[in-house]
């Protein structure tokens, strides 16, 4: 991706709590790393990349439910990564790796083509103001890049609670020639059991925001 691209996130430095810091000190050297330090992602089996794992609630549950799959969570928010490390330790997960940094840079520079089993993008920053829509992650260039990193038959699963962003995701992904919308989508995909219902999503529903899923398959 060109260096002049607009990032979909704003870097932040946030102090960790004592518990988060303890988990970070003990577990990050074993289970974590920086995107900038990854020259080439070694994909040796079915691997799913999650872009924006938040506080890791869903990530840990999905990794525990599918131990045969390697899960890679990419996030820029350090307290969220620290929360996920705590969950990783509690569940004794051995199939989860955490990366701090820009997932687009990782995909562009370090992920081999046609290597991933799937890519998850759940509740990305909606950048609701019109002037900020250009910062949204799901744009044509990004979608083409993501599709190129999926193996044939691999999948791209998106979810959002912002109707306008859902429509943009639908239009952008439908227009990508390397992706085909799953036949079960009409156009929205029913939330599968594999995507846990998190506290964040429950709150969104209580506030009247409809959750929309999209599932695409790589050609």
Give CA–CA dist 23/17, Å, rounded. 10
Q: Is residue 8 part of a domain?
A: no
Contact partners, residue 139, CB within 8 Å, separation at least 6: 172
Q: Kindly report the average pLDDT of the chain as a whole number.
A: 94
The reply to whether 13 falls in a domain is no
In a domain, 186, yes or no: yes
- Note the pLDDT of residue 15: 87
Structural domain count, the chain: 1
Is 42 exposed, middle or buried (CB count within 10 Å of its CB: 0-12, 13-18, 19+)? exposed
CA proximity to 28, closest of 88, 92, 106: 88
In a domain, 176, yes or no: yes
Question: Quick one: pLDDT at residue 129?
Answer: 93
Over the stretch 101-139, which tens digit does the pLDDT of each residue have? 999 999 999 999 999 999 999 999 998 999 979 999 999
On whether the pTM is more than 0.95, the answer is no
Q: Which pLDDT score, from 0 to 100, does residue 3 have? A: 47
Residue 141, domain extent: 31-218
Active-site residue among 105, 108, 125, 174?
125
Average pLDDT of span 51-60: 96
Is 174 labeled as catalytic in the residue annotation? no
* pLDDT tens-digit map of 142-195: 999 999 999 999 999 999 999 999 999 999 999 999 999 999 999 999 999 999
* CATH number of the domain residue 120 falls in: 3.40.50.150
Burial class (CB in 10 A: 0-12, 13-18, 19+), 13: exposed
Residue 10 lies in a domain: no
Question: Is 135 part of a structural domain of the chain?
Answer: yes
Evaluate whether residue 158 is within a structural domain.
Answer: yes
pLDDT interval class at 11 (50, 70, 90): low
Sign (positive/negative) of CA torsion 187, 146, 35, 69? positive
Q: What local confidence, expressed as pLDDT, does residue 132 receive? A: 78
């Amino acid at each position: 991706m060109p260096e002049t691209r607009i990032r979909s996130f704003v870097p932040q430095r946030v102090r960790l709590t004592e518990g988060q810091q303890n988990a970070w000190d003990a577990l990050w050297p074993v289970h974590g790393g920086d995107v900038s330090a990854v020259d080439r992602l070694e994909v040796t089996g079915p691997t799913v990349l999650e872009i924006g794992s938040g506080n890791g609630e869903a990530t840990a549950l999905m990794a525990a439910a599918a131990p045969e799959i390697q899960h890679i969570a990419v996030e820029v928010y350090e307290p969220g990564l620290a929360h996920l490390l705590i969950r990783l330790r509690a569940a004794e997960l051995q199939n989860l790796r955490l990366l701090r940094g820009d997932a687009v840079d990782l995909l562009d520079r370090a992920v081999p083509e046609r290597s991933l089993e799937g890519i998850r993008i759940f509740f990305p920053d909606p950048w609701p103001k019109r002037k900020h829509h250009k910062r949204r992650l799901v744009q044509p260039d990004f979608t083409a890049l993501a599709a190129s990193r999926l193996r044939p038959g691999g999948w791209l699963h998106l979810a959002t609670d912002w109707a306008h962003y859902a429509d943009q995701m639908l239009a952008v992904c439908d227009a990508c020639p390397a992706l085909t919308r799953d036949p079960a989508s009409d156009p929205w995909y029913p939330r599968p059991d594999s995507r846990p219902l998190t506290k964040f999503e429950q709150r969104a529903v209580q506030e009247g925001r409809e959750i929309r899923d999209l599932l695409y398959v790589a050609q």
